[in-house]
Structure 1
Amino acid sequence: MRYLSLPAKCAPVALLFILSFFMAFIPAAPPGKKPVVIAYVGGYRGLIANPASIMVEKLTHINYAFVDIKNGQAWLTNEATDTVNFRALNALKFRNPALKILISIGGWAWSENFSDAVLTEAGRQLFAATAVDIVRKYQLDGVDIDWEYPGVPGEEGNVYRPEDKQHYTLMFKALRASLDTLQRETGRPYLLTTAVGGGRYFTEHTEMDKAQQYLDYVNIMTYDYKTSATGLAGHHTNLYGSTKDTAEASAHRSVQIYLEAGVPAEKLVMGAAFYGRGWTLKDGTNRGLNQQALKGARGGGYTRLKDSLINQQGYKRHWDRKAKAPYLWHPGNNVFITFDDERSVRAKCKYIKKYNMAGIMFWEYSSDPKGYLLDAIHTSFNK
């Protein structure tokens, strides 16, 4: 679920002001309605390590990552381990009967075949049918689509077309129809969700106002705003901008983009990063924040960061009040690391409740096995 950094058309300042004004008057969430907490759990490496340790009492949904596409069909690349993982995840419902488990199709490396798969009506019907067959066979609860780059280049070898814009919508129409057919068979509802890039490039190459009518949740990947090893070192999962540039990437700006594109706030899910990104810099100017990087440096999962690096081994934690985001700086090695911590996810949860958003999702569970960030989310949503 990497965020794709592409040049984006800057929204006019006036429009951003209007959207900010609008958001200030979104009504509070109805009493008793708790936000969703969606964990992406990776099965693409093989067997999930110790699935029984997953804190499912603090989750509402698990999106299983990932299912691939082959010959236009949803396809279990690692069927031997995927099927074991499905059984293990379903067993977690004994501890949380309300838990929903979805297959997530695509991802950064496996999005390249979407354009071909949904090119025709027949293709869309086949893709939808095979995706829902997996849900049916393994008694799951829905489908999440992680088409990372419709209509744009993406990683090397990706197939894309201008028509992806319309086909993206029609894909969800076909999936929704197929899930509705399954609902008539079983008598229970099924979910259809999607993960989307946080930049304007994504809404310019899709029809989110039309697509959202088929979707239960739109999970915004409000992370990976900085990815280039030799670009600027800066926040990769900040709630607000850290500079005076109104086009600076941030979770707040991403939410505005999707509201502008026609997705209602009650379907929008904000992303949290359970991992950090790092860079090595030439010198200590501004402790590395928004400075030119020389090369990438190891970030790692939040459990590692908290237990081994934060205010340890020469690293000092700093807080950007404007961005509502933490970062680490090592003055001896000139290393900058950006990440989410308990304070920043609490700020995101407060924002979600204030603006009546659907909830929060995170990539991915195994990056914080001790549950530091999930505990902060759970506490924030259950005050």
Structure 2
Amino acid sequence: MLFHNHQQPLKAPNGYKTEVYFSNWSVYQRSHFAIDIPIKYYTHIFYAFILVDQQTGRLKFSDEWCDLQMPLKSATGAPVVGNLQQLFSMKLANRHLKVIMSIGGWGTCHLFEAVMSDKQKLANFIDSAVEFVHEYGFDGVDIDWEYPKNDKDARNYVELLRGLRSKLPNQFSLSIAAPAGAENVMVLRIKEMDQYLSFWNLMCYDFAGEGWSKRTGFHSNLFGNNGDNELNADNVVEHYKRMGVDSSKLILGMPMYGRVFHGVAKPEIGHSFSSSVRKGPDVIDTEIVDYKRIPLDTEVFDPRKVSACNYTGSSQQFIVYDNAQSARIKAGYTRSKQLGGGMWWDSCGDSPDPAKSLVINYVDQLGGIDVLDKSDNVVSYPTSKYLKDLLK
């Protein structure tokens, strides 16, 4: 395979970034906490999501209990309160780990539109973002606007990034969760945005799915037609490069979950399905499933498209996903294309088995943890009240 090689690692200028989004709601039904993330293999954790008050434009927490108040243990075992104190303790224990707040998420485009419709709301958004960084110990700001709809939104996005970059001290990063679908990418003023961004997290997943596709398809393929459409990660990367973004600022997004198609008569992409067929003892009654919960007994890997699938005939269930082999090939691709690194949604999904773990296989193929970004995080937040007990 072209990208399966064991040559001397090609290091990114400051080391590769390996990033993962941590969803605050995962502490509930999934019983997954920030402290469970294997930070040896990660350089950045993105905290999802911070929301926006539609009336004022100021930032607000989506769940203050788990964000700021839940009794937890620190990286040393001492008591802390809230996910954000736990994450800060992880930063203190690992000076290469950055924690970024991600603002927005799916279904929040109306909040960004409300902010951008009023100059005072925009000013409040920017000022409160800077305040959150200093109060809660973040190393940067990530904007997840899904998605700007037209050129007015695109111009406003540039203005939002310009304002944030002008108010954020240089040691703090500014990034976005960047779309992959052509209709969303074409709206963006990429070159104008790029001057303000530290890096771009390319969401190279959800290319196909039961909720919108006409046929079964790989949802995170690296190359070629995925079975339902022409979307693939390589085309996304090349488009952003053609628009003027340096490859070292492009972070390849990958899924830690599979997408499920129901009512599939044959185990192949490009086949019809019926979402109403959800029968059988092994059926997964959702459209997505954590990678670690996918049954691997009937796994098939497509080395041309670089994606895995699993089919259960008794329930006519077809699952598409990245596996360990996908991760290793995508790491080779990252090196070959001189990208900035890799990103995953979300941290709960990875397998605890090192042989199957997506991030471990990816990092090993990159060249091991020694080739990762080793720049220091920020641990000085003298005005923070929330972190004061940890800063003593």
Structure 1 length as normaliser, TM-score?
0.81
Unaligned runs of 5+ in 2: 1-8, 69-81, 277-283, 369-392
**What does the per-residue CA deviation read over 1:52-106, in whole Å, with 9 as the maximum and x for residues that have no partner?**
2221111000000000111212111222321211100111123321111010001
2:93 to 83, 95, 100: 95
Deviation of the 1:49 alpha carbon: 3.1
Q: 1:262 aligns with which of 241, 244, 250?
A: 244
Distance apart, 1:374 and its partner CA: 1.7
Tell me the equivalent position of 2:377. Answer: none
Q: Take 2:265 and 2:93, find their aligned partners in 1: how far apart are those partners?
A: 51
Once the two structures are superposed, the pairs formed by residues 1-383 of structure 1 within 5 Å of their partners are 29-30=10-11, 33-44=14-25, 49-70=32-53, 71=55, 72-83=57-68, 84-151=82-149, 162-180=151-169, 189-229=171-211, 231-242=214-225, 248-284=230-266, 287-295=267-275, 298=286, 299-305=288-294, 309-311=295-297, 316-368=298-350, 370=352, 372-383=357-368
Q: What is the CA deviation profile of residues 254-286 of structure 1, one whole-angstrom value per residue up to 9, with x for unaligned ones?
A: 1122122222211111111000011123522xx
Partner of 1:5: none
CA separation of 1:262/1:32 partners in 2, compared to 1, >3 Å: closer, same or farther?
closer
User: Which SS does the other structure have where 1:165 is aligned?
Assistant: helix
**What is the SS of the residue equivalent to 1:195?**
strand
CA contact (8 A) 2:49 2:103 kept: yes
What SS does structure 2 have at the residue aligned with 1:333? coil
Counterpart in 1 of 2:381?
Answer: none
Alpha-carbon separation, structure 1, partners of 2:26 and 2:117: 30
Shift of 1:123: 3.0
Comparing 164-173 with 255-264, greater Cα deviation is found at 255-264
* Structure 2 contact 218–227 (Cα < 8 Å) conserved: no
Name the aligned partner's letter for residue 102 of structure 2: S
SS in structure 1 at match of 2:18:
strand
Instruction: Give the deviation of 1:31 after TM superposition.
Output: 6.9
Moved segments of 4+, more than 6 Å = none
Q: CA deviation at 1:125?
A: 2.1
The SS at the match of 2:195 is helix
Q: Residues 209 and 217 of structure 2 are in contact (CA less than 8 Å); yes or no, is this contact kept in structure 1?
A: no
How far, CA to CA, are the matches of 2:12 and 2:293 in structure 1?
A: 37
Q: Deviations over 1:196-216 (max 9, x none)?
A: 111222222110111011111
Retained in 2: the 8 A contact 1:289–1:336?
no
CA 1:291/1:317 → structure 2, altered by over 3 Å: closer, same or farther? same
Whether the aligned pair in 2 keeps the contact of 1:149 and 1:202 (CA below 8 Å) is yes
Instruction: Give the distance between the partners of 1:377 and 1:127, measured in 2 at CA.
Output: 36
- Maintained 8 Å contact 1:281/1:288: no
C-alpha change, 1:31 and 1:172, in structure 2 (3 Å) is closer
CA RMSD of aligned residues (A): 2.2
Three-state SS of the structure 1 residue aligned to 2:274 is strand
Cα deviation for residue 325 of structure 1 reads 1.0
List runs of 5+ in structure 1 lacking aligned partners.
1-27, 152-160, 184-188
Name the structure with the higher helix share. Answer: 1
Distance 1:91 1:162, change over 3 A: same
Q: Distance in 1 between matches of 2:363 and 2:92?
A: 20
Letter aligned with residue 269 of structure 1: I
Q: Distance in 1 between matches of 2:189 and 2:164?
A: 16
Query: How many residues align structurally?
Result: 330
Displacement of 1:243 after TM fit?
A: 6.3
Measure, in 2, the Cα distance between the counterparts of 1:302 and 1:46: 17
Residue 23 of structure 2 aligns with an amino acid whose one-letter code is G
The 2-side partners of 1:132 and 1:140 are apart by: 10
CA distance in 2, matches of 1:341, 1:260: 29
Residue type of the alignment partner of 1:310: L
Aligned to 2:5: none
User: Could you say what secondary structure the match of 2:147 adopts?
Assistant: coil
Report the CA distance between 1:33 and its aligned residue: 4.3
Q: In 2, Cα distance between the equivalents of 1:172 and 1:243? A: 33
Amino acid at match of 1:301: D
Write the distance in 1 (CA, Å) between the matches of 2:227 and 2:105.
Answer: 32
Q: CA 1:30–1:319 in 2, change beyond 3 Å: closer, same or farther?
A: closer
After TM superposition, the score normalised by the length of structure 2 is 0.79
Q: Call closer, same or farther: CA 1:169–1:32 in 2, change over 3 Å.
A: closer
